[in-house]
Amino acid sequence: MREWEYTFYDSFKDAGFADAFPHLHPDEAAHSWYGRSGNGFRFDHLFVSTPHANRVFACDYHQEAREAGLPTTRS
């Protein structure tokens, strides 16, 4: 992650918000987008107020569409 990304995401924490996915899955790395090189990124986030984070029961990434692949031919 680049320095500006840490600053950007830390600003949510500093404002009293928690990122739901790592709150529920602290030891799991998940990605919502993969580049052509295979590097994964999390572009989709669900921020909740920190006092309410324990009320979030599920937050997951579904990879079925990505794993199925995109068509490689053009019409």
Summarize pLDDT for 22-46 with one digit per residue, the tens.
999 999 988 877 777 878 888 888 9
pTM of the model: 0.72
pLDDT over 70 at 57, yes or no:
yes
Residue pair 44/56 in contact by the 8 Å Cβ criterion: no
Residue pair 59/46 in contact by the 8 Å Cβ criterion: yes
Q: Check residue 20 and give its pLDDT.
A: 94
> What is the rounded CA–CA span in Å between residue 60 and residue 72?
27
> What is the rounded CA–CA span in Å between residue 19 and residue 23?
6
